[in-house]
Structure formats: structure tokens, C-alpha cells
Structure 1
Amino acid sequence: MLAEQEAVWLQAGHHYADSRGFAGFTSFDGREVRFHHEVGEPGEDVGSLRRDGENLVESGANPDGTTFVEIWTPLPDGLGQTGSWTAAGCQVVRVGPHLVYVDAGTSAYLRM
């Protein structure tokens, strides 16, 4: 099945936030990267990453066992201040002027 969905993923250090409704931290064992969901949609997905020109291609498995391939394209103006904040069941990640907010029932992408 081919599904196209636009999403914004921001990563600051080990912490990330995804505009599709989950946030947490990443870990890497030298072969696979794990995305530990701590806020929003529960679970953990595992995948591998490779460069394809300017893009980053992620392939792996979802918490329900289905597989995926995602192509991530850099956002414009992705340089500048970065940070991640977690409090009271929500997580916010900022990269330059881009900000993604996630809590148990809401997610949002903002450009400042």
C-alpha cells in the first residue's frame, strides 16, 4: 500500500517530536535506530536510515508489526537555535524557526 502523508519531524539531540502525534527520544545501537514514544501515540518503532542526496530515507517496522518507508526532506531555515522541553505530559522540539508540540491528544507544527 502506498500512502502519502505530509508530516514534520524535528530532532534536537536525542529528543524528537512528530506532527503526527508522538514524541520521545531516539537511540542507536550501531545498526538500527529506535524511536521511543514517550508522549502522544504509544509505542516504539525501529528502522534504518540512509541518505539519498539531500533526503533521509527511513525504513523499518511500526509497533503493530507493519513496515514503512519514509522519505524526509530538510525544512528551509533549519539552522539556528535548537531545544527540547518536556513537562506535564507534553513535549516541544524547536529547530530554528520550526516548532512541533505534542501532548496526549494534540499535536501541532508552528513556524515562528
Structure 2
Amino acid sequence: MGLLVLRWPWGTTKFNQASNLVVKFLDFTNNGTSFVYGFLAEPPNICGMDPIFAFTSLQVVVYFGAIVAVLYYYGLMQWVLKKLAWFMQLTLGTTATESLNAVACIFLGQVSLMLTFSPLNIKPIS
């Protein structure tokens, strides 16, 4: 991926487009947070009051965790992680379990720190 981004201009363009899509996806959190919490999430400029951390930044983790849970329920997350782990296993020569855990930690890092541990990425508790 680094070679695509650094060597060819179209790789940089595609990477920027993907980045903008992720930012737009996470910006939905701002709309929901301001709707639910109102003044706490977007205080007026009175004496330099800043938004409250618990009502702004942490909502991204909750939102992303909910989306991952829905994708996991429908089986899409397992399919994506399986394909990426297979590719990593092929290119790096790691075992299947190592590859799956590495891919899961890359894509689900902030969620797995808050909600699960690494062994649960391999086999969830039923």
C-alpha cells in the first residue's frame, strides 16, 4: 500500500478519497452527539468553555463499536478479516492465527481495547 501511495499519483488520489470517506463516516458521530447532548457537545463561546470529552470524543469509539458489532452479526466482518488474514499469511509467511489476530488488531484496535481481548478475535464467546 505504501508503494502505491508513494510511487504513483493515482494511488495517492485513491488513498485520499478513501480517507475522506472514512472521515465523512465518522462525522456522523458529531451530528448524533450534538443532537443527543446539545449544549454539552457544542457549548457556546463563553469564557473559552471547551466541549466535554466524555460527550464528544468517546462517542466515536461507541459508534464504531456499534457498527462493528452489526457487521460482525451479519458475518461481513469475519469475511473481510478472513480474506485480509489470508493475504497477510501468503505474503509474510505467518500462521493463520497470527495473521488473523494481526489484521483484527489493525482494523479493530480501538474497539478491541475497550470491548474485547485478542483471543476473542479468534473465537468469540457464544
TM-score, structure 1 normalization: 0.20
Pair member with larger Rg:
2
TM-score after normalising by structure 2: 0.19
More helix by share: 2
Whose strand proportion is higher, 1 or 2? 1
